[in-house]
Amino acid sequence: MSGSGYLLEVEDLSVSFGSRDGTVLANDGVSLRLRAGETLGIVGESGSGKSVLCRAILGLAKGKVTARRIAFDGRNIDEMSPAERQKLRGSGIAMVFQSPMSSIDPVWTIGDQLVETVRLHKPISRRQARIEAAALLDRVGIAASVRRLDDYAHQWSGGMLQRAVIALALAGNPRLILADEPTTALDVTIQDQILALLMSLQRETGMAMIIVSHDLSVIAETVDRVAVMYAGRIVEVADVRDLFQAPQHPYTAGLFASIVGGAGQDRMLTPIPGQPPDLQNLPPGCAFAPRCPRVRQDCLRSVPRIDATAALGNACLFPLGEPLVEERQS
């Protein structure tokens, strides 16, 4: 562990893409910090920049990436050699993508892919790597793991494939897993299994985890702290309980008011008025201002931001003081 005490530090990250019609600012001044073993949730709607943020952390983002600092375990990623960066991916940080069907190569056996990945991290023979591959499948709850090494992706269900993707991520014993919508493509009973698996693996290994989701209920059960993104910016970071009990940013509050509260709830939804922002044409001030019920003149002038070194906070000039949502305990 480095002197800063943080496993991951991202300061003032911006990612932009050029398109035919102009520049899209997909991440705009994003800062976040994560301690070893901590679980951070990133919530946001489509286009809010949450997936781009994950890719930028891994150095995989397309487009123009600028940051004051991205550091893993105290070391600035910019200063790493390509070989060090390659090693960081997999053994430092591993990623679990949304669609298991597209993370696994259909023309290789599951076992071949695991063996290749294991051997990328360790100089061992194919035979030994095969034993480790079977052990990895065991850890993610695939029964008869040795026999199933020779299966192809099409022989597995979506839930099993997501287990295989998690096994691939575990191969390098990472200290941080980035899970980008890890259960969005799965049925609810399978989602339940995968979330239980991720939580038990985290307890077992003590690794840190970033779970990206559009679904607040997935975040509620899995993370310590939540970052809410809107239009490429983090608009609120809070401990998960505080966020659910008393959201500070009007966008966060609007999100809560517009979701169906799960089983046992029946109240009228209050949608957020208007449309999601056009990332090529953001207003000069707060990006949420055109949809915000609390908007005032000041909100239109400059972009409110959270202090880059703060663990908690909100990017709103007029945050909500009182709890807006009653606690939804069934």
Q: CB–CB of 113/175 below 8 Å?
A: no
Q: Is residue 241 a contact residue for other proteins (CB under 8 A)?
A: yes
Among 91, 99, 193, 205, interactor with other proteins by CB under 8 A: 193
Find the shortest distance in angstroms from Cβ 120 to other proteins.
29
Q: Which is nearer to other proteins, 62 or 241 (CB)?
A: 241
Q: Which is nearer to other proteins, 265 or 302 (CB)?
A: 265
Residue type, 45: E
Q: Which is nearer to other proteins, 83 or 188 (CB)?
A: 188
Residues 77, 79, 82, 88, Cα dihedral to 10°: -30
Q: Is residue 11 a contact residue for other proteins (CB under 8 A)?
A: no
Q: Which of residues 215-234 bind other proteins (CB under 8 A)?
A: 215-218, 220-224
Query: 225 — alpha (psi -120 to 50), left (phi > 0) or beta?
Result: beta
Q: Which is nearer to other proteins, 43 or 115 (CB)?
A: 43
CB neighbourhood size of 150 (10 A): 11
User: d(Cα 179, Cα 7) in Å, to the nearest integer?
Assistant: 16
Cβ-Cβ contacts under 8 Å for 317 (sequence gap 6 or more): 286, 296, 298, 299, 304
User: d(Cα 9, Cα 73) in Å, to the nearest integer?
Assistant: 8
Q: Is residue 255 a contact residue for other proteins (CB under 8 A)?
A: yes
Find the shortest distance in angstroms from Cβ 215 to other proteins.
7
Q: Is residue 324 a contact residue for other proteins (CB under 8 A)?
A: no
Q: Which is nearer to other proteins, 83 or 268 (CB)?
A: 268
Among 107, 127, 268, 321, interactor with other proteins by CB under 8 A: 268
Q: Which is nearer to other proteins, 72 or 230 (CB)?
A: 230
Q: Is residue 270 a contact residue for other proteins (CB under 8 A)?
A: yes
Q: Which of residues 54-73 bind other proteins (CB under 8 A)?
A: none
Q: Which is nearer to other proteins, 46 or 297 (CB)?
A: 46
Q: Is residue 144 a contact residue for other proteins (CB under 8 A)?
A: no
Query: Quick check: helix, strand or coil at residue 18?
Result: strand
Residue type, 297: Q
Strands 39-43 and 208-213: parallel
Q: Is residue 266 a contact residue for other proteins (CB under 8 A)?
A: yes
Q: CB–CB of 285/267 below 8 Å?
A: no
Q: Is residue 262 a contact residue for other proteins (CB under 8 A)?
A: yes
User: d(Cα 205, Cα 301) in Å, to the nearest integer?
Assistant: 47
Q: Is residue 293 a contact residue for other proteins (CB under 8 A)?
A: no
Q: CB–CB of 73/7 below 8 Å?
A: yes
User: d(Cα 175, Cα 188) in Å, to the nearest integer?
Assistant: 28
Residues that bind other proteins (CB under 8 A): 45-46, 157-160, 187-193, 195-197, 199, 214-218, 220-224, 240-241, 243-245, 254-255, 257-266, 268-272, 275-276, 327-330
